Structure 1
Amino acid sequence: MKVAFFSTKKYDQEFFESINTDFNHQLTFFETALNAHTASLAKDFDAVCVFVNDDLNAETINKLADAGVKIIALRCAGFNNVDLKATEAQNIPVVRVPAYSPQAVAEHAVALILTLNRKTHKAYNRVRENNFSLEKLTGFNLYGKTVGVIGTGIIGQCFAKIMLGFGCKVLAYDIKPNAELKESGVTYVDLDKLLKEADIISLHCPLNEHTHHLMNAEAFEKMKESAMLINTGRGALIDTTAVVEALKSEKLGYLGIDVYEQESGLFFNDLSETVNKDDDFLRLMSFPNVLITGHQGFFTVEALEQIAHVTLKNLTDFEQGKELENKVST
C-alpha cells in the first residue's frame, strides 16, 4: 500500500523503514501535521499514518475521503483526535496500536515521581557547578506511602505493580476493576476516597467525555495536602487553570507531567530559538515543584519497534482483507 505518514521525525522514518522490510509497503514521510489544510498531501495514497497531535476532524476526514484514502492508521493508542462519526460516514476504518510498550510509559511515570521527590535534576545541575550542598533537596521515602492509580488498563496495571514493589499501598479507581491486580494487593476504591487518601496520584485513563478535566478544581480540593500528581496519559485529563491555582495555593505539593493540554504545536518540536507564547505553560514552568517532559514516556527502542510493527501489520491485514483486530469502534 501507498502510505502517507504525517508529523514524522527522523526516528519515525528510521524505525518504520527498518520494520517495513517485512511488509513492503510504499512509505512517504511528511514532517507536517495532518489537518484540513494539509489533507491534500494524501492525494493518491491508500492510507495515512498519524500521531497524537494530528487533527482528524470531520473536515479533514472528508478531504481524505475525496483524496482516495481508504484507511487511517494511528501509530499510538489514543484516538481522541479522530472524529469517528465522520470516518464511519465515509466508511474509512481507523486502526491503532493499543499496547506498544506499557512498561515504557509506566516506568516513565515512576521516573517523574523519583525525580520530583529526590530532586535529582536539581542535584545534577548543582554538582556540575561544584555545588555539593544538600539544602532544599530533602525528599521522602516511597516505602509505605499510599499511591492512587486512576485507570488500570495495561499501562496502569504495570505502574501499580511497580509501586507495589516499592512497598507502597496502592489504591485504584477504574470502571472495570482488574481481578489480577486485586489478587496482587491493589485495593479498588471510589474516586473520592482515592483523592482523599493518596500521597501520590498517577493518571493512566483514556481521554473521553467522562475523563476530560477529571482533575479539576473540585478534585484538587479533595486531595490530600501537598500530594503529588503525575500525568503520562493525555494532557486534557488535567484542567490547566485549576492545577496552576492548586500549585499557587500550595494545596498541590508536586506536579509531574509528560503530556500537556495544549501540547499540539509545542511538543515534538525544537522551539529553543522562538518565543513561547503559551502563558499557562510558562506559568507551570515557573514553579520549582513542577517537572515537565515533552511526551517522551513511550520513547524506548522496544516501544518504537512495536509501534512500527503493529501499525504496518494493521495495514497489511486491511490490504489482504483480514479482520482488523486493532480497529477503533465508535
Structure 2
Amino acid sequence: MKLTFFSSQPYDRIFFERYNDSLGFELSFLDVALDETTASLAKGSDAVCVFVNDKVTAPVIASLKDNGTKVIALRCAGFNNVDIEACRQNEIHVCRVPAYSPEAVAEHAVAMILTLNRKTHKAYNRVREQNFSLNGLLGFNLHGKTVGVIGTGNIGKAFCRIMLGFGCTVKAFDLVANKEMEAIGVTYHPLMEVLQSDIISLHCPLNEQTRHLIGPETIGYVKKGAMLINTGRGALIDTKTMIEALKKGYISALGLDVYEQEEKLFFRDLSTKIIQDDDIQRLMSFPNVLITAHQAFFTDEALSQIAMTTLNNVSQLLKNSNLKDQAALLV
C-alpha cells in the first residue's frame, strides 16, 4: 500500500518512517503542497497524507479519485481545508488526528503569554549586547488576572488547567459547558463577557461561524489593553482589524502562531526573499507582537502521536473501511 505525503518536511520523514516498520507502507514524501496542479503526483497512491495548508478542494478530490486514492489522511486535527461533501460524493474516506498532544499547543500558548508579558525575548537580545537595563521590560503578575478561553476542547482544557495553576480566574466560552472544567473552577459565560478578560486565548475550530471571530463586529467588546493569543487557526482573527487595534493601542499585546495567509509563508525559509505580504510585515513591525510559524504542535510527543495515529487510521481504512476511533473519521 502506497501513502504519499504532501507539504512534507524533514521531520515528517523521520517520525513516519520510525513508526512504519510494523505496517509496511510504501511512503513517498513530497515537499509541494496539494492543489489542482499537484494532485496528479499522487497517481498510484492508495492514500494521501495532507497538512493544514494543503487545498483539498472538489477538483483535487476528483483527481485523486481518478488516480486511485481511497483515503485522505490529515496529520492534524483541523479539517477546514477539506471539502468533506466532495469526499463523500467520491467515496473517499477522510481521517484526522483529533487529539495528538493537546498539552503541546496549550503550553506554547502559555509560552507566548509569558514572553509577551515579561519580554524575555527582548531581555535576551539586550544582555547579549551587554545592555543590562530593565527599562521597558516591565510586566505584570499573571496571578489574579482573568483569562478568557474561547473553545474548551482538548487543547482548551489543557490550557485552562495551566492557567488555573498560575492562580488566574478562568472564564470560558463554548457551545456546551464542560462539566469537567466547571468542577475545577472554570466558569462559562457569553462570548462578549469572555472578551472582557485581561488575556484572551483562542482554541476553537475554524468554520463559517468562527471565521473572523475577532473582527470588526467584535473588536469593540474586547477589553482595552487586553492580550490576545491565537494558536488555533489564522482566520479566527481578521488581520486588518487587528492591525488597526494595535495602531490605536487598543490591544496591549498579540501572540500569533497562525496567520490568515500563512500558506504562502509558513514552513518555508524566506530569509533571502522579499515578502510581498504587507499585512504580516506590518504585524512584525509592532514591538508588542510575537509571531511563531505554526510551531505550537512541534514537540517530540506530538509528532510521535501524529505519526502513529495517522498510519493506524490509514491502515484500518484501507484494510476494512472501518476505523475504531470514530472521532478520527470524517467520511
Please give the TM-score of this superposition, normalised by the length of structure 2.
Answer: 0.98
Helix, strand or coil: the match of 1:230? strand
Q: Does residue 1:135 correspond to 2:128, yes or no?
A: no
**Map of 1:139-218 to 2, 5 A cutoff?**
139-196=139-196, 198-218=197-217
The question of 1:5 aligning with 2:5 is answered yes
Equivalent in the alignment of 1:328: 330
Task: Report what 1:311 is aligned to.
Answer: 310
Output the CA distance in 1 between the equivalents of 2:195 and 2:13: 42
2:25 matched residue in structure 1: 25
Q: In structure 2, how many angstroms separate the alpha carbons of the residues matched to 1:44 and 1:20?
A: 19
Instruction: Tell me the equivalent position of 1:71.
Output: 71
Q: Distance in 1 between matches of 2:276 and 2:321?
A: 47
* Contact persistence 2:3–2:27 (CA under 8 A): yes
Query: How far has the Cα of 1:295 moved from its partner?
Result: 0.2
Rounded to whole Å, the distance in 2 between the matches of 1:320 and 1:92 is: 14
- Indicate conservation of the 8 Å contact 1:171/1:194, yes or no: yes
Per-residue Cα deviation, 1:40-83 (whole angstroms, up to 9, x for no partner) = 00111111000000001111111111111111000000000001
Structure 1 letter corresponding to 2:195? L
| Alpha-carbon contact 1:220-1:251 (below 8 Å) kept | no
Residue pair 2:71, 2:318 contacting (<8 A) in 1 also: no
**Per-residue deviation, 1:195:** 1.0
Matched residue SS, 1:218: coil
**Any idea what SS the aligned residue of 1:255 has?**
strand
Partner of 1:298: 297
1:278 and 2:277 matched: yes
Match of 1:244 in 2: 243
In 1, are the aligned partners of 2:74 and 2:310 still within 8 Å (CA)?
A: yes
1:225-244 to structure 2, matched below 5 A, reads 225-244=224-243
- Per the normalisation by structure 1, the TM-score is 0.98
The offset of 1:218, in angstroms, is 2.6
Alignment partner, residue 115 of structure 2: 115
Task: Determine the C-alpha separation between the residues in 1 that align with 2:25 and 2:97.
Answer: 18
Q: How do 1:43-82 residues align onto structure 2 when only pairs under 5 Å count?
A: 43-82=43-82
CA deviations 1:95-139 (Å, max 9, x no partner) are 000011000000000000000000000000000100111010000
CA distance in structure 2 between the partners assigned to 1:245 and 1:168 by the alignment: 29
1:184 aligned partner, one-letter code: I
Deviation at residue 322 of structure 1 after TM alignment: 5.3
SS of the equivalent of 1:3 reads strand
Aligned length in residues: 328
Identify if the C-alpha distance between structure 1 residues 322 and 64 changes in structure 2 by more than 3 Å, giving closer, same or farther.
closer
CA contact (8 A) 2:70 2:318 kept: no
Q: Which ranges of 4 or more aligned residues in structure 1 deviate by more than 4 Å?
A: none
Residue 20 of structure 1 aligns to a residue whose secondary structure is coil
Q: Percent identity?
A: 61
Give the conservation status (yes or no) of the 8 Å contact 1:220–1:252.
Answer: no
| One-letter identity of the residue aligned with 1:159 | F
Q: 5+ unaligned residues in a row in structure 1: which ranges? A: none
Which ranges in structure 2 are unaligned for 5 or more consecutive residues?
A: none
Please give the secondary structure, in 2, of the residue aligned with 1:253: strand
User: How far did residue 210 of structure 1 move?
Assistant: 0.4
CA RMSD of aligned residues (A): 0.7
How far apart, CA to CA, are the structure 1 residues paired with 2:176 and 2:27? Answer: 39
Q: Distance in 2 between matches of 1:286 and 1:226?
A: 19
**Cα separation, 2, equivalents of 1:39 and 1:218:** 38
